[in-house]
Amino acid sequence: MKSLFNITILIIILISFSTCFYNKEEILYPDKSCNTTNITYLGKIDSVFSKNTCFSCHASTVAPPDGGGLQLDKYATVKENINRVIGAINHQPGFKPMPLGQSEKIDPCSILIIQLWKDAGMPE
């Protein structure tokens, strides 16, 4: 009788643990629209900056000191400052979080594209 009770308790415990799972929506249903192929500055990075309105502060047409002197519409400047860009868009400590004045980061797909571009050697 005691062993039947112990087996019953063990089964109940096992069932309760088997029903626990991590159901984060981004993991269960990843965004399939994030195209991470053929990433170049002119092909995708420039578009990411444009889509996220980065050029309103960080373009060669904006007078300094706006944009902290970082012109994202110039390949050489972005390449030279890529760690600064990645730190800012990821809101990492020690970097001014971008977009400025917003608590939200740019979309995860844009961040991923920029990181993958850096990892690929930053092709123009």
121: number of CA atoms within 13 Å, CB side? 2
Mapping DSSP to helix (H, G, I), strand (E, B) and coil, where does residue 90 land?
coil
Q: Please give the span between the terminal C-alpha atoms of the chain, in angstroms, as a whole number.
A: 75
Q: Could you tell me the residue ranges of all domains in the chain?
A: 28-119
Tens digits of pLDDT across the chain (124 residues):
677 777 787 777 767 665 555 555 555 555 567 999 999 999 999 999 999 999 989 988 886 766 677 899 999 999 999 999 999 999 999 999 999 888 899 999 999 999 999 999 999 9
Instruction: Give the closest residue to 45 by CA, choosing from 114, 99, 122, 103.
Output: 114
Residue 24, CA atoms < 13 Å, CB-side half-sphere: 5
